[in-house]
Amino acid sequence: MSFTASHKLAPTRRRKPVRPPGFGLTLGVTLAYLSAGVILPLTAVAAMASRDGAGKFLAMLGDERVLAAFKLSFGAALGAAIVDTFFGLIVAWVLVRYSFPLKRVVDAFVDLPFALPTAVAGITLTTICAPDGWVGRYFEPLGIKLAFAPVGIVIALIFTGLPFVVRTVQPILEDLDGEIEEAASSLGASRWETFRRVIFPTLVPALLTGFALCFARTVGEYGSVVFISGNLPNETEIVPLLIISKLEQFDYPAAAALAVVMLVVSFALLLAINALQVWTARRGGGR
């Protein structure tokens, strides 16, 4: 049997994606769970915040005490995220690139903020940083106040957020191909140039993701901060504590308004984190 040059192959049909068994039921359960456990409570909070109208909502957000709490919460979280991003990279680098005694113990200690109750962390840090504490006693004569000051809040947030950066950067360092560094070295690049031009650009998406995760986690932190902050209005009062104070005063619309702002910020951070993860995946697939 002979085939001519004009012979055309039969068109192939695209196979339709096959849904897994029980897809309709599991999708319904998922949507029902999200509606009852997430969407409904958030809708109730938004409705409570807008109960007295937009004018009172904006007036409450413009209060001096509220603005001071937002400034402290976001400022301390931003400072802690910057510090954790820098030192988290160093910790991840040491854990991946070096072998030393008790390495597994050090690696396990990185996850301690995940396992330790935040209230326990707050009490411990307050005891250490107090004017008569193990660390605070050396700073007190210099006029530097650690506990019951904004510095103490940043310290607590640094402790809370460090694992997010380390655990985000560590897998990327482990997956780096050593041949790339060898090639850069063979071309005459120094170790610093290799890190700056070859390794660091690869780590940038992971560092940005770790920074965003750390900031998102610490901006609403309560347990580890409430003890060490001192809770002074307009000075060391954070937004979560202000929400608790409004609830204790039965000012539910004000508490809901503060909660709505924090929810909007958290949602924006989640979108940013997801965008960074998509960007990281595309960069990895494009290599």
Q: Which CATH number belongs to the domain containing residue 162 in this structure? A: 1.10.3720.10
Q: How confident is the model at residue 35 (pLDDT cuts 50, 70, 90)?
A: confident
Q: Looking at the domain assignment, is residue 30 inside a domain? A: no
**Tokens 């769970």, residue located:** 33
Structural contact between residues 213 and 88, judged by C-beta atoms closer than 8 angstroms: no
C-alpha span between 222 and 241 (Å, rounded):
7
| CB burial readout 29-46, b (16+ within 10 A) else e | eeeeeeeeeeeeeeeebb
Mean pLDDT of 133-147: 89
- Tell me which of 74 and 280 has the higher pLDDT: 74
Q: Looking at the predicted structure, is the pLDDT value of residue 238 above 70?
A: yes
Percent of the chain with pLDDT over 90: 32
What per-residue confidence (pLDDT) applies to 6? 47
Q: Which of 204, 212, 200, 197 is nearest to 84 (CA)?
A: 212
- Both tokens of residue 268? 């924006």
Q: What is the pLDDT of residue 93?
A: 93
Under 8 Å between Cβ of 97 and 201: no
79 pLDDT band, cuts 50/70/90, is: very high
Cβ contact 146:119 at 8 Å: no
- What is the pLDDT averaged over residues 224-240? 89
Does 132 fall in a domain? yes
pLDDT of residue 86: 95
CA 88 to chain CA centroid, Å, is: 13
- Total domains present in the chain: 1
Mean pLDDT for the chain?
84
Tell me the C-alpha distance between 134 and 124, whole Å.
11
Rounded Cα distance between 17 and 12, Å, is 15
pTM of the model: 0.81
pLDDT of residue 165: 94
Mean pLDDT score, 168-195: 81
Higher pLDDT, 185 or 160: 160
The reply to whether 38 falls in a domain is no
Q: Is residue 272 part of a domain?
A: yes
| Residue 1 forms part of a structural domain | no
| Domain range enclosing 141 | 52-286
The DSSP-derived string for 174-188 is: HH--HHHHHHHHHTT
How do residues 80-99 score in pLDDT, each as one tens digit?
999 999 999 999 999 998 88
CA separation, residue 205 to residues 172, 198, 273, 275 (Å)? 10, 14, 10, 10
Q: Is residue 174 part of a domain?
A: yes
pLDDT tens-place string over residues 261-282: 888 888 888 888 888 777 766 7
Question: Is 111 contained in some domain?
Answer: yes
Q: What is the pLDDT of residues 201-219, one digit of tens each?
A: 888 888 988 998 899 899 9
Candidates 270, 214, 262, 254; CA nearest to 63 is 254
Kindly report which listed range (47-61, 115-129, 150-164, 189-203) carries the lowest average pLDDT score. Answer: 47-61
Task: Tell me whether residue 240 is in a domain.
Answer: yes
